[in-house]
A and B are shown apart, each in its own frame.
Chain A
Amino acid sequence: MHRSTNRPFRTAAALAAVLSLAASACGGGDDGGGTADGGGADEVTCPYDALESAAGPVEITIWHTQTALGKRTLEALVERYNAAQDKVVVKAESQGVGFKELHDKIEQAAPDRSLPAIVVPDDTKTRYVADSGLFLPAQACFGADPEGQAILDDLLPIAKASYTLDGQLWPASFTTYTALIYFNQDHFRAAGLDPANPPETIDEMIEAARKIKAANLPLVAEPMVVKAQSFLFEWWLSGAGQELVDAENGRGGYPTEAEWDNETTRSILTKLQEAKAEGILKITPGADGNADHLLAMATNSASFGVDSSAAASTVAGVIEGTVAAEDIKAEFGVDLPPGLQLDLDLGVGPYPGVDAAGKGQVGGGVWYLTNTVPAEQQAAAWDFMKFMNSEESQRTWAIDGSTAPVGTEIADDPQLNEAWSKTLAGRWLKVAYDVLAGIDTDFPGPVIGPYDEFRREIEKCLDRVLLNDEPVGPAVEEADAAMTAALERYNQDVGAG
């Protein structure tokens, strides 16, 4: 909304451009400095007793991504903690749906070190956390605090194995999920399959799908449904003992080559592609928040599918008619009238794998302590995490929050076991917990710096092969090359050449 003549404009712009080019060309590389520290190189101390000397109540903030049920449970726990003592006041702030936004925020905060006391990204950030210099390894606190060892010993072995790097356990707690197969027991029975013995391998799933298709049940279109999500494939690979990167899957040093392109990957993709062509498998888009796979099962057009155990409570609740309408919407993006009871006889089983069921990795939220806040906040954060790991909190999380508890002793808790047997959701969560407690700790999954980029590439590959029906070979090769390039860039960034 201005008026001026031509010439002043052009001169001004030219002047500005020339000035800025000259200025910045003269400026050398700022922030020249050393390489980022690898995790655990120096002795790190946990200021766990800084709380004693604090003047007033210490305020700390948590960045998390829980929604609906999980969010309410977390907020209830936070309230309980705040009410029970007056040294620490905790505030939990939800950072949006899905982990992407939170990961972005963490990376953006890196240059100015402006993270809050606790952040809860997902299970893929271990390498980044260790390399960034922004986090306090919880291992230091487990060691420094006399109460710490007992907690440490009790934690789920697979979680400890997954999140330990260079001998340090980085997170102070976890909100774990694993994967399950959800299947329609009526359909199984009608097709002559035994609901007490769900498929345990991918081949068995495809066989089951063929049998159900052959039984020609009404409404059933493609019996097997899979959402094109990266983690499902990652877990198939690690369940089969296949590495995703070299250097011992990233646990023996910085990996330099991606190994996505391997026999197992190609075989899985080829089998699924063929199953889809056969008309027995439906592939749904992998976008965050897309719940087409669950809808397919809800409408009986699919008979079984695989997904995270995080949805277990809500799915079970929908079936029993006990879930709040908001949670259905928040979890699945569908509007179902409240109180609706789906007439489905669903069962769950451990995640079928390449060779066997119940393998794979730990997934879910991981609770990290940051070192970018003053010592008393770090101490306050550690105190809160002790509360989160306490038996009572674990019980609340497990019963109200639909996650698996983080400890091993809690499995004998009578209250918890009662909840686990009383409701449908409870029974399913018990299955998930047993899987988690039993995963082989020798192969806990890869450690990858640029994990987000890996996931993007895998998802692109899945889209190409499974949604667009492109040939498996080139798609896998190209994804592999892109992933290796990402590793190179990461290693450069970290100074690991």
Chain B
Amino acid sequence: MTAPAVRTRRTSPAREALLGYSLLVPAFVVLGVFAYYPLYRLVHYALYRPNRFATREVYVGPSNISDVLGGDEFLDGLWITVKYVLYTVPTGLVLGLLLALAAHRHLRGIKVYQAIFSSTVATSVAVAAIVFFGLVNPEIGKFGDVEFISLARAESALRGVALTSIWQNIGLTFVIVLAGLQAVPDAVIEAARVDGFGPVRRLFRVTLPLISPTLLFLVVILLIFGFQAFAPMELLTNGGPARSTETLVFKIFRRQGPAQISEGAVMALGLFGLTFLVTLLQLTLLNRRVHYGD
């Protein structure tokens, strides 16, 4: 994928290579120190457990990795993370789709509605969590005693926390789906209409398939957000009640101390594996559907 380079009068391949490498140095130094080096150390801590005073390390070996990955803490965290993703991704997708379908039309003032729907993009995770703290906190929240999303009970707490992400994601999902819809040429929809496709059939047989790459892209984004969720849990329930909202990232965050860093490192590597799988999924799915309908 190289392009013909701009050359000054006196460039030799050696000089060009030197320049090429040196331009890469800043980025690679940063990534080396903050991406690759930490990965190496994660593997190290997965194999060597420090004592709680950080004065010694004990070799625990690969069995440590299998123990932790098969252990309750990791599996619980994994399951909670998966549940969180299941709560936030489909709802996010459907909401974004509904809003975008509704707002994708020529009406006077439609821009106002579009602005409103995309407004949650302006919230940070902390702000969104605070907004929902006021709504679902069991003591001071307006809807604090709605059982389905109650933060006071272990079965429902995660759902209450998920509301934060769902609401916060509305802006982003709307913007993305709308862009996808806007890229569909009017002519295609018009042609379908002329062919006698009713609105529902148009939606399912024409529009959705045409924006399916966009939707897939959105699913991937939401998946990544879901896997990385941390702030809502910390701010709304602090992992409780009874650790029912402790996602993987949350558990990892809590294992910074020397006595727990070994366990945490294995969990982080597990998260790495999960990220890898999801990315693989994205690539295979995306590659298969990329040329639809052009």
- In whole angstroms, what is the CA distance A16 to B38 when docked? 12
A131, B259: Cα distance in complex, Å: 14
Contact bitstring A6-37, B, C-beta under 8 A = 1, else 0: 10011001001001110111010111111110
Verify if B22 is at the interface (C-beta below 8 Å from A). Answer: no
Q: Please, what's the 1-or-0 string for A98-141, where 1 marks a CB less than 8 Å from any CB in chain B? A: 00000010011011000000000000000010011100000000
A27 touching B44, Cβ below 8 Å: yes
**Shortest Cβ gap from A354 to chain B (Å):** 30
Known contacts A1-B221, A27-B44, A32-B57; A110 and B52 CB within 8 A of each other? yes
- A20 CB contacts on chain B under 8 angstroms: 36, 39-40, 42-43
Q: Which of B50, B59, B139, B257 contacts A31 (CB 8 A)?
A: B50
- B53 contacts A494, CB within 8 Å? yes
Within the assembled complex, what's the spacing in Å between the Cα atoms of A102 and B104?
52
Q: List 10 tightest A-B contacts by C-beta distance, closest first.
A: A493-B51, A111-B54, A107-B257, A24-B44, A24-B43, A20-B40, A36-B53, A29-B57, A108-B257, A20-B43
A32 to B50, CA, bound (A): 10
Which single member of A6, A10, A23, A107 contacts B287 (CB below 8 Å)?
Answer: A6
Taking CB atoms, residues of chain B closer than 8 Å to A5 are 283, 287
Kindly state the separation between the CA atoms of A13 and B35 in the bound complex, as whole angstroms: 13
B134 contacts chain A at the CB level, 8 A cutoff? no
Once the chains are docked, how many angstroms separate the CA of A6 from the CA of B258?
Answer: 38
The docked-state distance in angstroms from the alpha carbon of A111 to that of B41 is 15
Near A by CB (< 8 A), chain B positions 23-81 give 36, 39-44, 47-48, 50-59
- A408 interface residue, CB < 8 Å from B? no
Binding site for B on A (CB under 8 A): 1, 3-6, 9-10, 13, 16, 19-21, 23-25, 27, 29-36, 104, 107-108, 110-111, 128, 131-133, 287, 333-335, 490, 492-495
Name the A residues within 8 Å of B217 (CB-CB).
1
B53→A287 contact, CB < 8 A? no
A to B CB contacts below 8 Å, 23 in the list? A9-B280, A10-B280, A20-B39, A20-B40, A24-B43, A24-B44, A24-B47, A31-B50, A31-B55, A31-B57, A32-B56, A32-B57, A33-B55, A34-B55, A35-B56, A36-B55, A104-B257, A108-B256, A128-B52, A334-B139, A492-B58, A493-B52, A495-B56
Instruction: Check A490–B43 contact: CB distance below 8 A.
Output: no
Q: Does B241 contact A (CB under 8 A)?
A: yes
Is B180 engaged at the interface, CB distance under 8 Å to the other chain? no
Quote the shortest CB–CB distance from A25 to chain B (angstroms). Answer: 8
In the bound complex, residues from chain A placing their C-beta under 8 Å from that of B240 are 287
Q: In the complex the two chains form, is B257's CB within 8 Å of A16's CB? A: no
Q: Chain B residues near A110 (CB, 8 Å)?
A: 52-54, 257-258
Contacts of A492 in B (CB 8 A): 51, 58
Cα separation A27 to B44 with both chains bound (whole Å):
8
B254 at the interface (CB under 8 A from A): yes
Which residue of the partner chain B has the closest CB to A3? Answer: B286
A30 touches B48 (CB 8 A): yes
B54, closest chain A residue (CB) = A111
User: In the complex, how many residues of chain B place their beta carbon closer than 8 angstroms to a beta carbon of chain A?
Assistant: 37
- Would you call B182 an interface residue if the criterion is a C-beta within 8 Å of the partner chain's C-beta atoms? no
B44 partner residues in chain A, CB cutoff 8 A: 24, 27, 30
Contact between chains at B258 and A107 (CB < 8 Å)? yes
Which A residue sits closest to B276, measured CB to CB? A13
Q: A32-B56, A128-B52 are in contact. List 6 more A-B contacts (CB 8 A).
A: A16-B39, A23-B40, A36-B55, A104-B257, A107-B52, A493-B259
| Residue in B closest to A29 when the chains form the complex, CB atoms | B57
Q: How far is the CA of A368 from the CA of B280 in the complex (A)?
A: 52
Question: CA A5 – CA B283 in complex, angstroms?
Answer: 7
Given the complex, which residues of A lie within 8 Å of B188, measured CB to CB?
A: none
Within 8 Å of chain A (Cβ to Cβ): is B140? yes
B36, B52, B55, B258: the one within 8 Å of A35 (CB): B55
Q: Which of B221-248 contact A (CB under 8 A)?
A: 221, 240-241
Contacts of B259 in A (CB 8 A): 107, 493
Minimum CB–CB distance for B58 against chain A, Å: 7
Minimum Cβ distance to chain B for residue A445 (Å): 22
A13 to B273 CA separation, bound complex (whole angstroms): 10
Are the C-beta atoms of B43 and A21 separated by less than 8 Å? yes
Q: Does residue B279 face the partner (Cβ distance < 8 Å to A)?
A: yes
State the CA gap A492–B284 with chains docked (Å): 48
Residues of B within 8 A of A131 (CB): 53
In the assembled complex, how far is the CB of residue B57 from the closest CB belonging to chain A, in whole angstroms?
Answer: 5
Answer whether A33 and B56 are a contact pair too, CB < 8 Å, given A1-B221, A21-B43: yes
A16 neighbours in B (Cβ, 8 Å):
36, 39
| Other-chain contact of A493, B43, B53, B139, B286 (Cβ < 8 Å) | B53
Residues of A within 8 A of B59 (CB): 29
Residues of B close to A4: CB separation below 8 A: 283
Interfacial chain B residues near A6, Cβ < 8 Å: 283-284, 287
Q: Give the residue among A10, A32, A493 with the most B Cβ atoms within 10 A.
A: A493
In the complex, the answer to whether B40 meets A24 with C-beta atoms within 8 Å is yes
B52: chain A residues at CB < 8 Å are: 107, 110, 128, 490, 493
- Provide the residues of chain B in CB contact with A133, threshold 8 Å: 53, 55
Q: Are B56 and A111 in contact (CB under 8 A)?
A: no
State the CA gap A492–B254 with chains docked (Å): 23
Question: In the assembled complex, how far is the CB of residue B105 from the closest CB belonging to chain A, in whole angstroms?
Answer: 27
A6 CA / B283 CA spacing, docked (Å)? 6
In the bound assembly, the distance between CA atoms of A334 and B140 in angstroms comes to 9
What residues of A have a CB within 8 angstroms of the CB of B41 in the complex?
A: 24
Which residue of chain B has its CB nearest to the CB of A449?
B52
